[in-house]
Amino acid sequence: MTTKEKIMDVALHMFSERGYEAVSIRDICGEVGIKESTLYYHFKNKKDILDSLTAKFREHIEGLLGGVDEIADEPAAEGQEFVGEKMMDTYMMDSYLFEPFCNLMIRLMMIEQFHNEEIRELYEKTMFTDPYEIQMDIFMRLAKAGTFTENEAKWLVRDYHAYMNMLTYKYLLNGELTEERKQRYAKEVHEYMQRIMKRQ
Amino acid sequence: MTTKEKIMDVALHMFSERGYEAVSIRDICGEVGIKESTLYYHFKNKKDILDSLTAKFREHIEGLLGGVDEIADEPAAEGQEFVGEKMMDTYMMDSYLFEPFCNLMIRLMMIEQFHNEEIRELYEKTMFTDPYEIQMDIFMRLAKAGTFTENEAKWLVRDYHAYMNMLTYKYLLNGELTEERKQRYAKEVHEYMQRIMKRQ
DNA sequence: ACTCTTCTCTAACAATCGTTAGAGAGGCAG
DNA sequence: CTGCCTCTCTAACGATTGTTAGAGAAGAGT
């Protein structure tokens, strides 16, 4: 890992725990093991570190969104109750919510949305707008498959979205992201979907 | 309004917009129109201002919770669909979420939960634990009244709680709290309850 | 007239913040 | 060997932060 990468890694860990303002350049340099002026060789100022992190995150997200369609079109694998849903959830989990870099970035955005307009927008896009669109797409497929009516789907996706957010905050965005908490999250998501599918 | 009250008022407005750390003693004093040393006559340090605000909020909340039982026991007034629910919602809205001091305190806690353990606990209590308990109580009353089964009620209250949170963040905890946004919030809450009552 | 209390001021303090100028160390190309 | 480029260092800068010592002003009670 290069010095620049190490700086970004340490900064991300600290920012996502204490917030951008609460972390000083000296904190980061102390942890990395360099002098402050060395940091300024790699980044033009403190904001530049944050900007580099969000830029990296943006690229990561674009990559994910680029591959979403082919995954959604895959037929349901064995052990899955319906097309798209569980596949999409593991996709949403393993390569986004559970993925270490993304998880820390989400925590960082969650804290910093109140101090930074650009981050607020990115946070809303990557945690609300984009997921909602994907979830809506899935529910509409299920509606077309006859699982429920289109009107029901429109309401259900809102309920689902709100509930997923609650679970995400509860299990994935505070404290350490342990294997146990991931599994409990996945289990509750699964239970929720089972409930939805049964009731109709 | 005394100087001390004015300080707390200005501090609350600033803290709830920019966060505790981002607001300096000089910012507050400039807005109030006093010198820094005058502030230190009324508060022993910066943290003391925050503590005074949370103490005042705690008292406010205790007063609200103290009166919750008698309100829940009132019979449904005309124009209401079911006992307790709408009454409780206006109670939750008018004297809590819409109430200016509480609304600003919630915003402050929402930002500061990530930098302050005590505020994190207060935030979870006043925005999750307490409301959930009250909502559970209402849904259990509805279950006993035969509107749905107790098992259904346990799931419905989770859905309801998650959905209310989403609406609260969407309408009440960002930007200016206008009369229009309050009404849109109330309307969506109402629609949600109608949907729940119909489906059973 | 006097003191005592309450409140506000002037003027500074030390600590920490982000940031920079400039010197050295090491490797690679000529 | 020389010069150049990349990277890291020492050492400081000015600005801002929370905080304090101590002096005045105004009113109430004696």
Could you read off the pLDDT of A141-167 as tens digits, one per residue? 889 888 889 999 999 999 999 999 999
Comparison of pLDDT for B63 and B73, the residue scoring more = B63
Distance CA B100, CA A94 (A): 42
- Given a cut of 70, whether residue A79 has pLDDT beyond it is no
- Nearest by Cα to B28 from B45, B105, B119: B45
Instruction: Scan residues 46-65 of chain B and list those with Cβ within 7 Å of strand D.
Output: 46-47
Distance CA A98, CA A184 (A): 12
Tokens 């350490």 appear where? A176
Nucleotides of chain C in contact with protein CB (under 7 A) are: 7-12, 16-22
Comparison of pLDDT for B146 and B27, the residue scoring more = B27
- B-chain residues within 8 Å CB-CB of A110? 114
Q: Is the CB of A45 under 7 A from strand D?
A: no
Task: Locate the DSSP E strands across chain A.
Answer: none
Predicted confidence band at B73 (pLDDT cuts at 50, 70, 90)?
confident
As to burial, measured by CB atoms within 10 angstroms (0-12 exposed, 13-18 middle, 19+ buried), residue B9 is middle
Domain map of chain B by residue range?
A: 52-198
Distance CA B48, CA B87 (A): 37
- B-chain residues within 8 Å CB-CB of A162? 159, 162-163, 165-166
A92: how many CB neighbours lie within 10 A of its CB? Answer: 19
- Give the single-character DSSP code of A22: T
Distance CA B130, CA A163 (A): 18
Q: Are the C-beta atoms of residues A92 and A110 closer than 8 Å to each other? A: no
- Nearest by Cα to A65 from A126, A120, A9, A143: A126
Distance CA B148, CA B156 (A): 10
Predicted confidence band at A67 (pLDDT cuts at 50, 70, 90)?
confident
Q: Is the CB of B18 under 7 A from strand D?
A: no
Distance CA A32, CA A38 (A): 11
Question: For B123 and D21, how far is CA from C1' in angstroms?
Answer: 39
3-state DSSP percent of chain A in helix, strand and coil, to 5: 80, 0, 20
Residue-averaged pLDDT of chain A? 92
Count how many Cα atoms sit within 13 Å of the Cα of residue A67 in the half-sphere of its side chain.
12
A119-A123-A128 Cα angle (round to 5): 155
- Give the single-character DSSP code of B76: P
What percentage of chain B exceeds 70 in pLDDT?
A: 94
As to burial, measured by CB atoms within 10 angstroms (0-12 exposed, 13-18 middle, 19+ buried), residue A49 is buried
pLDDT tens digit sequence for A161-199: 999 999 999 999 999 999 999 999 999 999 998 888 876
- Given a cut of 90, whether residue A49 has pLDDT beyond it is yes
Q: What one-letter code names the amino acid at B111?
A: I
Q: Angle of helix B130-144 relative to helix B85-92, nearest 10 degrees?
A: 170
pLDDT tens digit sequence for B135-190: 999 899 889 888 889 999 999 999 999 999 999 999 999 999 999 999 999 999 99
Contact A159 B161 (CB under 8 A): no
Contact B114 A19 (CB under 8 A): yes
pLDDT tens digit sequence for B94-147: 999 999 999 999 999 999 999 999 999 999 999 999 999 999 998 998 898 888
